Structure 1
Amino acid sequence: MIRSAVHHFRRSYSGYLSPVVRSKTLTDVLSKHASREPISVITAYDYISGSWAQAANCDVILVGDSLAMCALGYESTTEISLEEFRFHVQSVCRSPGEAFIVVDIPFGSFESSIEKGVETAISLMRCSPKVGALKLEVGSHKPGAYNPDYSLKLAAELCSRGIPVMGHIGLTPQRVHSLGGYKVQGNRSAQQAAAIFETARELQKLGCFSLLVECVPHKVSQYITETLNIPTIGIGAGSGTSGQVLVQSDILGMLPGRIPKLAQKYTDLHTQSVDALKHYVSDVTMHKFPENDKNGFKIKEDVWREFLEIVE
């Protein structure tokens, strides 16, 4: 009886409910890779940028810690806290659409111990049912090394617990100081390029479903893509990867100044927005906005006369 009443309520008020949209799953992403279709990935920072990415029908939305610099004004991605980052993850996840959502694991939230890393991963996955996977920045793996990279151990732990992981190799911004700055990786020596390749192969072996390859020579990233069985998502890694990712603020030109070489600006939203806001300020100054007939609300004449009698 109760179930019937609930069902009737939902049907009666269906016009007021948001339509249920099926989100893409990991299987959808892997199927696209299997059919050799390029995978499109766009970053998002909040509900609005998430809604734009969803409306563009991209395959994957990455809630990257790049939002620290692109949306919050921090100087580095390492400054954003886990609590602040989770707030933005939840905001992006509220945007309607079917894109598969991958979330960064921010700096400082996983390095202290494997237990802490697993706890952080679980908290990020619990931000929303729409969070489908996590992205983990990983240092280059050197076969036979006495102490393998810690992040490789964490990747293995997360994969063993059924948490989908996208490994991030090449230029890893969270380790920018140890890398000597924001520089191309794997182009100075064959040993450096081989270390990136070995890292990629090790992450696949550990169970990562995909790799993000950043600022790696296109021949190296293409070799990695052709050798591995999992999809690679490139940024500054050439056209030979399984898909591409760009930061949304670079695509849209949200901020003034030059964009990185690895990106492409498809419009100049910063200039357009400032011009529009200047137009508004001018209209207010010149008494052109608002217009009573267009932007205002009326009152019935008898109500108005009664109001005057009361106040006067």
Structure 2
Amino acid sequence: MVCGYNGFCSIQDVDRLYPPSCGGALEVIVSLVPIGEPRRKITVASLREKKLHHEPITCLTAYDYSSARLVDEAGIDIVLVGDSLAQTMLGYENTLSVTLDEMLHHTRAAHRGVTHALLVGDMPFGSYQSDPSDAVRNAARFVKEAGAEMVKVEGGEKRADLIRRIIDAEIPVAGHIGLTPQSVNVMGGYKVQGKDLSGVEQLMRDAVALDRAGVACIYLEGIPREVAAMITAEVKTPTIGIGAGPDCDGQVLVFHDLLNLTFGHPAKFVRRYADVGAAITGAVQAFRADVTARHYPSDEESYHLPRETRAALDTVLERKRAMRR
């Protein structure tokens, strides 16, 4: 029996499989039992359980109500309101320009669309680098004002003490090491990290420091597969990779990359599952053509006066025409 992703059959499913000639839905619904567990709310504890049981963790970015709801309803474990929205949603050159208020605005919108997934808010550049007390206050704003259940902070060893401060304030934290976009100017561009021995050793130290600090998960971005596998085996914390190979505990992609809603050349690790960009362009072009040719809207797509109102209006118009003669 084919049912919904939550493991339960709907009345519509039953009606399709058991038409009235076979008794119909109402006659068989009493004998139905769930074919699987109902979908559970994903929590920080859920991520640890998934690593323990070798269940891959799924994560996608989403930046507004519609995308977050679609991602959540598709069964994704984590919705990340990433600072990548600086480029995908706001058209900035990089992630350094997006403000805390902009991140909170988009996180609030995504929160309204999420029911089961774990919602993570990405702390933007400048919101945690200067003063630990400010960092804790800003992290609290993600939880209190925007509905985030976790915040993401870039950096390894050098952020460990700060991350402990945030966690001590009862706010779960996701770490992020490797290619950290907020450090693009220091790195000299978007370059794969950990390609030499010293780089590998630093990544291992970063991962262990975050693990000991108590982060809920660690995002590994732009590092060799072999290094990501070593980190994943070394730490108890779940790892989520993006451009880090298949051996992480989970994977994340940018929503717009997955659907080809971006305008540049994709990174090597991006797999495009649909060409939504082309579909949108085609739909908009078709709309423009229909309007230009006066094919839209049709009579069927228009509202009409009730017959009585139309008759009364015709009478009024006829009287006005008669007065002009």
Change (3 A) 1:173 1:96: closer
1: CA distance, partners of 2:151 / 2:231 = 21
Match of 1:307 in 2: 313
CA-to-partner distance for each residue in 1:200-230, whole Å, 9 max, x for gaps? 0011111112100001111111000001111
1: CA distance, partners of 2:95 / 2:286 = 34
Letter in 1 for 2:266: I
2: CA distance, partners of 1:157 / 1:207 = 11
**Equivalent pairs, count:** 280
CA-to-partner distance for each residue in 1:7-48, whole Å, 9 max, x for gaps? xxxxxxxxxxxxxx9732112222112111000000001111
1:50: Cα distance to partner? 0.6
CA-to-partner distance for each residue in 1:117-160, whole Å, 9 max, x for gaps? 0110000111344x211110005x3xxxxxxx2x2221111122
2: CA distance, partners of 1:235 / 1:181 = 17
- Preserved contact between residue 41 and residue 244 of structure 1 (Cα < 8 Å): yes
Match of 1:144 in 2: none
Match of 2:138 in 1: 120
Match of 2:70 in 1: 52
CA-to-partner distance for each residue in 1:165-222, whole Å, 9 max, x for gaps? 11100010001110111000000x2111101110100111111121000011111110
1:299: Cα distance to partner? 1.3
1:112: Cα distance to partner? 1.8
* 2:263 pairs with 1:256: yes
- Tell me the secondary structure at the aligned position of residue 185 of structure 1: coil
For 1:159-178, what aligned pairs fall within 5 Å after superposition? 159-178=167-186
- Preserved contact between residue 239 and residue 250 of structure 2 (Cα < 8 Å): yes
For 1:137-216, what aligned pairs fall within 5 Å after superposition? 137-139=154-156, 141=157, 149=158, 151-187=159-195, 189-216=196-223
* 2:289 pairs with 1:282: yes
- Tell me the secondary structure at the aligned position of residue 164 of structure 2: helix
Among candidates 110, 113, 119, match of residue 92 of structure 1: 110
Among candidates 142, 150, 158, match of residue 133 of structure 1: 150
Q: In percent, how many aligned pairs have the same letter?
A: 34
- Preserved contact between residue 104 and residue 146 of structure 2 (Cα < 8 Å): no
Gaps of 5+ in 1: 1-20, 142-148
- Preserved contact between residue 79 and residue 119 of structure 2 (Cα < 8 Å): yes
CA RMSD for the aligned pairs?
1.5
Change (3 A) 1:302 1:128: same
Structure having the higher Rg: 2
1:256: Cα distance to partner? 3.0
Match of 2:46 in 1: 28
- Preserved contact between residue 152 and residue 175 of structure 2 (Cα < 8 Å): yes
Letter in 1 for 2:294: H
- Give the TM-score taking structure 1 as reference length: 0.86
Gaps of 5+ in 2: 1-38, 321-325
- Preserved contact between residue 105 and residue 146 of structure 2 (Cα < 8 Å): no
2: CA distance, partners of 1:201 / 1:93 = 31
1:310: Cα distance to partner? 4.2
2: CA distance, partners of 1:272 / 1:84 = 28
- Tell me the secondary structure at the aligned position of residue 145 of structure 2: coil
Match of 2:89 in 1: 71
Letter in 1 for 2:120: V
- Tell me the secondary structure at the aligned position of residue 169 of structure 1: strand
Letter in 2 for 1:46: D
Match of 2:6 in 1: none
1: CA distance, partners of 2:40 / 2:316 = 57
Match of 2:303 in 1: 297
- Preserved contact between residue 24 and residue 100 of structure 1 (Cα < 8 Å): yes
Structure 1 runs (4+) deviating above 3 angstroms are: 308-312
2: CA distance, partners of 1:299 / 1:67 = 46
- Preserved contact between residue 256 and residue 270 of structure 1 (Cα < 8 Å): no
1:81: Cα distance to partner? 0.9
2: CA distance, partners of 1:46 / 1:221 = 30
1:273: Cα distance to partner? 0.5
- Preserved contact between residue 167 and residue 203 of structure 1 (Cα < 8 Å): yes
Match of 1:16 in 2: none
